[in-house]
Amino acid sequence: MESAHAGPDRLSVPDHSHIDNVVAVMSGKGGVGKSSVAALLASTLRKQGYSVGILDADITGPSIPRLFSLRGVPKSSPEGMLPPQTPSGIPIMSINLLLAHEDDPVIWRGPLIARAVQQFWSEVVWGNLDYLVIDLPPGTGDSPLTVLQSLPLDGIVIVSSPQEMALMVIKKAIRMARSLQVPIIGLVENMSGICCPHCGEIFPVFGDSRAASTCSEEGLRWLGNIPLDPVLASVSDQGRIEDYEVDFLEAIPDVLSDVKGGV
Ligand code: ADP
């Protein structure tokens, strides 16, 4: 099926796969929790009963397989590569699954990185997916630009931290997505205050959240805030990110259908 935002310069969905919605997760810079939000979004959608895959396009900093304790090697078939699946049934393709050792660095220049992402799109047998979640490379440089330009994305979730909001790094990401005419589903502020492990109260270490005001200035939907939470750090380190729940991510299918319908 053609995506709403397939265009002359964008790749179409390969014949061996049927992908209804392609959602990318983007950040203005690294380390703000982009991969965590991509993984949480995919696991939330899976728990809602959707078929979901994850394409890890963060080629030089791939962390998706580790968040799900996934170690399988993609198998080959006449149609293309078969991605390994998590126990809950999320197929994942990541460069980490192809490396001899998961801590081997990928020392590649832009064109090779772009080629790898395009192969993950075209040569992986994704099958029938309601959603493909793409963990973009961080920032607004050459690698995320290539992905935004070449894949038929239906929408982007932008992840930021409170400090990034203060530094306005996030506005570069918003403007980049808009200049490439990829619809923005909304903004998630991550690491927004710290969650006390004893009482659960959220303490605003970085001052009051600016997420809502930035969204209203930019005309964006504010999807919600995720606090710095030792439980999230711990389940991530143990490869059990599917055990963590972020309720507001359950609204993404409805928000995305509004975005696709032009609401
Ligand atoms: P990015 O993809 O933006 O580089 P990651 O998702 O890899 O960022 O997160 C960076 C680190 O911060 C990881 O170790 C992750 O487990 C941790 N982390 C992310 N968000 C949170 C949070 N809300 N609470 C606690 N730790 C977090």
- Enumerate residues 6+ apart whose C-beta is below 8 A from 234: none
CA distance 252 to 131: 11
In the block, tokens 């995305």 appear at 256
What tokens were used for 218? 């930019």
Which atom from ligand 1 is nearest to the alpha carbon of 236? 16
Give the integer Cα–Cα distance in Å for 262 and 242.
Answer: 31
Task: Give Cα 56 to chain centroid, integer Å.
Answer: 8
239-262 pLDDT per residue, tens: 999 999 999 999 999 999 999 988
CB atoms inside a 10 Å sphere around CB 210: 19
Q: What is the maximal distance between C-alpha atoms in the chain?
A: 55
Q: Does ligand 1 have an atom closer than 6 angstroms to the CB of 21?
A: no
- What's the whole-number mean pLDDT along residues 78-102? 92
- The residue among 44, 91, 33 whose CA lies nearest residue 65 is 91
- pTM for the full predicted model: 0.94
Q: pLDDT tens digits for 138-153?
A: 998 888 999 999 999 9
226 lines ligand 1 (CB under 6 A): yes
Ligand 1 atom with minimal separation from the 61 CA: 4
Structural domains of the chain, with CATH:
18-260 (3.40.50.300)
Predicted confidence (pLDDT) at residue 166 exceeds the cutoff of 70: no
Q: Among the atoms of ligand 1, which is closest to the Cα of residue 226?
A: 23
Residue 36 near ligand 1, beta carbon < 6 Å: yes
Measured by CA distance, the residue closest to atom 9 of ligand 1 is 33
pLDDT at 3 over 70: no
- Tell me: pLDDT of 2 over 80: no
Q: How many CB atoms lie within 10 A of CB 8?
A: 4
Q: What is the pLDDT of residue 164?
A: 73
Q: What is the pLDDT of residues 224-237, one digit of tens each?
A: 999 999 999 999 99
Contacts of 115 (CB under 8 A, 6+ apart): none
| 104 pLDDT above the threshold of 90 | no
